[in-house]
Structure 1
């Protein structure tokens, strides 16, 4: 180990240690795989030939690259090329073995991506989203002009392309509810074949999602996700006959699935109470058999042609690994290993909308009460889990307890919990956060005078809204890429997020101004008492910079203590050193402005 590595603090090592994603593999050439790694200091795509063991960096851009797909024959890599993280770009294609990048869909102008399905019979489907056109889907064939097969103002996306390349499954929200999709299957000329819509005929709208066509030539079965029993679970829909096969899996929590490569069974991913596990469901015997995985979180899994399953696993204490049910580590990147962190504790708190699940980490051997960071997740349709996270681990290293709250709006606790946000957006989540805050103080964990509200994206939004609506509750706020001025954010953000905001708030700012006002941090900015740290990507299409500047100007006008860091990227950075820099600045801000807070960040 070098002297530089020896002197590097653990929290920086967790960011710099090489990581890899779960490899995707080409359906008709399973030895060819594609994965993401930060090995160069920037997250990029890598091609991996399992037969020879050769790994090759496929992309190399200053801002990094995350979105890539292998063609079924393994001959080419499609990857999405945007500008400095603004998510607005085009698909490029390069040979698997390396070579020139060329436009994968010539004739299609830059856009936000609305999905991609690469066919094995010469036709692929590319989804596009723009503010001017809404969502359009196009069939792309080499040597021919792209053919538009779908267009609508509301958000939609490519679900999947059938194995024989004749059918396209589309998720759409033509009914206007961006939280609950309906499904349509069309031919390559755009003509409709089948429709499934759970948003009609009831007092509550239910969503559907595409999980994938059967991996067999001529098979018209489509694996889908539904919410008919109050949670996500899989079902098989035969497009030709219309038959729906209800699997009725007896598992609590959300259940998703994908096909085994031969179509004989399903690999079931089960998420419950912030943990994840895997099962195999045999379609002939209807037997459900648990696949042995360690306690923690399985954040991705795939069944290989030989029947073994590869999965990405971690826990709050142990760094991620790509493992196989064959008993091996599939990908073990060279270089230093990320230091372990501390275990997570589960806490259940009674809240105004039901029991709230929170995850707590505290420094080993520390004496309560502690300075405490409430690290609020984004989404809002997401959830914190017992998974390795370098950010919370860094706060723990510096003497802070970390509390993460799966507030109403989070996934993994049933449809009713996720859908509870509508109309009183932001305020509902903060009620749950306040209930957990009260528990943290009364239990003796948290020092009430040293409480930090922090988060990124939707978590950054809740941070700014909480500082204004609960000014006496928080000693400091740290908001990364937040919504700060909801009205301006709506007008500047990408079209798909406009649709989501219309769903959450019941209309546009012009139609329901009182709701936007009640849910906007800008409304309460003059009530903020705590020092505020804000970071923002100048190319961010999700939480655009102008609305953040509006909020900052109001802070500055009243002389409020604040610090703003602007960086040249989009909704977060894919550059490791940039991530370390940002977290170091956040920890330093807390140490400077929180009396009796944690320690200053160590410098490597």
Structure 2
């Protein structure tokens, strides 16, 4: 929470309604209000004990599901919601992360799976901080905490808590073996948190078993140990050939087996319960698919999921695969696929399903750094000819837009806008070189790709050149502000949610994990490479902004802190620029559905007014 009185800026207008037609108004709100749930996470030794998160109450909270009895119970009830929870292996406890008003700073608490008791501190002698990994065993617990002083990693066993690792650079708990003998940490002692290395320790005396670092620009991610006790095989993501691929590392023998799959794009995976196969999630050009990889034969078999986005997946003890799925036209569903190929809905959230929306198509545009993939959506009843168009820039930057259902995108379409989502350089899923191309020049590099796609959209007749809106949240909000200042001729309006606006001030106030990330991305801190931070900061170009600007920000945001946003807005105010500001009491976004609806209506209403469409 900001300790000083907040500067007064022009308040954003909150429209009573966006559509005169009652059915249209009801339809867009229904998409947001429709209950959604995540793929259930079950206790490994008690698979009837499941947890998931849902917005059924109007706020995203943790729920328990006892499959033996069929009972569903809401576990958490907090004003700003709860998203992070883990079941204990025996199914007796639910651990969830308890922060303050969405600020992500706090500690783990636990309560009985069956309920009947208040949550209590899970490990009282571990200090508060930002979460940096958690592994829960029957007798050993490993937990990571990040603060401004760096990273600290602890174990708790036999009633005793031990600090076993401390470093000023970013580190975290990555995985623990099924028999709880071995613990893997991810670290950036080499100075590059974007490409971490791995270290395996014994949980008894913390002796180093093995280290693995693939060198400059090649990160390693520990996915999970084999589910079998006594099995020291660790599933790892590597990028030795320019994209994320799989290997199995026997950490005690220090031998590894790279798994080469004939799939374009990138992959992740988890184990089947008998550790004889992998469930492979494949991502390529904005869409996901699931496959089974047999370790003995090396055979890869498709599970034939429909085109779209896989939103989490896991294999039950009986071999069935449970996964989340949606595409741009169809709302999310939690499905289960049996060995015989039968695929059915596993869980239906309460209430009415969200109304559907329009499908999306692909665009491939040549850019200075290579071919750019964009996902394009048009309103179902759009007239021929150019349309007002929103260029929606994803956050991250290490993320990617996908062919998934979005109530947010659907509303823009209902309002008559085309929507273009750009997987610019910096996005994941297109290889390491594409992801890392923004190093040393973040923001400006991505906007070269956005400009190329903007040119294509106008020249192809999709977008009206005088009615283009740049829009995004988090990293996408940063790019939106930077675009308004460096490409003012392209944009009729800009919308930035929880953005970085003044990068030097943001670096001073943000969580240490992000400072570490920024040092790796920019090539140093603002003290060591000041020119890079200046060149890539939106506030440097604030005087060139000509389009109306809407900024939305949370008071308690540790990722894009409020002070640096106020700095930017003060510069806009000093030159009587046209802008509006919406400030809310939460962190990096909101888990409250009513608040999400309010913010979305503010954004769309602002764009309609800025473009003279309302």
Pick the TM interval, shorter chain.
over 0.9
User: Does structure 2 retain, via aligned residues, the 8 Å contact 1:137–1:151?
Assistant: yes
Determine the structure 2 residue equivalent to 1:434.
451
Deviation string for 1:361-395 (max 9, x for gaps)?
A: 01113122100000100000000010111111110
* In the alignment, structure 1 residue 345 sits paired with structure 2 residue 361: yes
Deviation string for 1:500-529 (max 9, x for gaps)?
A: 110111111111110000000000000000
Aligned mates of 1:437, 1:471 — CA distance in 2: 13
SS of equivalent residue, structure 1 residue 434: helix
Determine the structure 1 residue equivalent to 2:348.
332
* Paired residue total: 587
Deviation string for 1:152-181 (max 9, x for gaps)?
A: 111011111100011101111111111101
Determine the structure 2 residue equivalent to 1:185.
200
Range moving further from structure 2, 350-359 or 280-289: 280-289
SS of equivalent residue, structure 1 residue 9: helix
Determine the structure 2 residue equivalent to 1:294.
306
Determine the structure 2 residue equivalent to 1:158.
173
Determine the structure 2 residue equivalent to 1:513.
530
Q: Residue 443 of structure 1 is aligned with which of 460, 468, 488?
A: 460
Deviation at 1:590, TM superposition (A): 1.1
* In the alignment, structure 1 residue 417 sits paired with structure 2 residue 434: yes
* In the alignment, structure 1 residue 282 sits paired with structure 2 residue 297: no
User: Does structure 2 retain, via aligned residues, the 8 Å contact 1:236–1:246?
Assistant: yes
SS of equivalent residue, structure 2 residue 420: strand
Determine the structure 2 residue equivalent to 1:365.
381
Determine the structure 1 residue equivalent to 2:126.
108
Residue correspondence of structure 1 range 128-277 to structure 2 within 5 A: 128-132=145-149, 134-141=150-157, 143-144=159-160, 146-188=161-203, 189-199=205-215, 204-277=216-289
Deviation at 1:141, TM superposition (A): 2.9
Aligned mates of 1:6, 1:369 — CA distance in 2: 26
Q: Residue 55 of structure 2 is aligned with which of 31, 38, 63?
A: 38
RMSD, aligned CA? 1.2
Residue correspondence of structure 1 range 497-508 to structure 2 within 5 A: 497-508=514-525
User: Does structure 2 retain, via aligned residues, the 8 Å contact 1:45–1:65?
Assistant: yes
Aligned mates of 2:52, 2:436 — CA distance in 1: 33
Range moving further from structure 2, 206-215 or 183-192: 183-192
User: Does structure 2 retain, via aligned residues, the 8 Å contact 1:509–1:516?
Assistant: yes
Aligned mates of 1:23, 1:234 — CA distance in 2: 25
Question: Normalized against structure 1, the TM-score is what?
Answer: 0.96
User: Does structure 2 retain, via aligned residues, the 8 Å contact 1:223–1:234?
Assistant: yes
User: Does structure 2 retain, via aligned residues, the 8 Å contact 1:206–1:226?
Assistant: yes
Range moving further from structure 2, 326-335 or 73-82: 326-335
Aligned mates of 1:9, 1:346 — CA distance in 2: 30
Aligned mates of 1:62, 1:7 — CA distance in 2: 30
Aligned mates of 2:23, 2:445 — CA distance in 1: 46
Deviation string for 1:513-550 (max 9, x for gaps)?
A: 10000000000000000000000000000000000000
User: Does structure 2 retain, via aligned residues, the 8 Å contact 1:11–1:394?
Assistant: yes
Aligned mates of 2:284, 2:351 — CA distance in 1: 34
Aligned mates of 2:259, 2:603 — CA distance in 1: 47
Deviation at 1:8, TM superposition (A): 5.1
Deviation string for 1:196-229 (max 9, x for gaps)?
A: 1002xxxx52010011011111111111110011
Residue correspondence of structure 1 range 373-412 to structure 2 within 5 A: 373-412=390-429
Q: Residue 583 of structure 2 is aligned with which of 566, 571, 574?
A: 566
Deviation at 1:9, TM superposition (A): 2.1
5+ long unaligned stretches in structure 2: 1-21
Aligned mates of 1:354, 1:28 — CA distance in 2: 48
User: Does structure 2 retain, via aligned residues, the 8 Å contact 1:150–1:190?
Assistant: no
Aligned mates of 1:559, 1:283 — CA distance in 2: 65
Aligned mates of 1:334, 1:217 — CA distance in 2: 39
Deviation at 1:292, TM superposition (A): 1.7
After TM superposition, what 4+ stretches of structure 1 lie above 3 angstroms from structure 2? Answer: 5-8
User: Does structure 2 retain, via aligned residues, the 8 Å contact 1:292–1:325?
Assistant: no
Deviation at 1:7, TM superposition (A): 8.0
Aligned mates of 2:504, 2:158 — CA distance in 1: 43
Aligned mates of 1:95, 1:162 — CA distance in 2: 24
Question: Normalized against structure 2, the TM-score is what?
Answer: 0.94
Deviation at 1:551, TM superposition (A): 0.2
Q: Residue 530 of structure 1 is aligned with which of 547, 552, 574?
A: 547
User: Does structure 2 retain, via aligned residues, the 8 Å contact 1:47–1:57?
Assistant: yes
Aligned mates of 1:6, 1:553 — CA distance in 2: 41
Deviation at 1:83, TM superposition (A): 0.2
Residue correspondence of structure 1 range 459-478 to structure 2 within 5 A: 459-478=476-495
Deviation at 1:14, TM superposition (A): 1.0
Determine the structure 1 residue equivalent to 2:73.
56
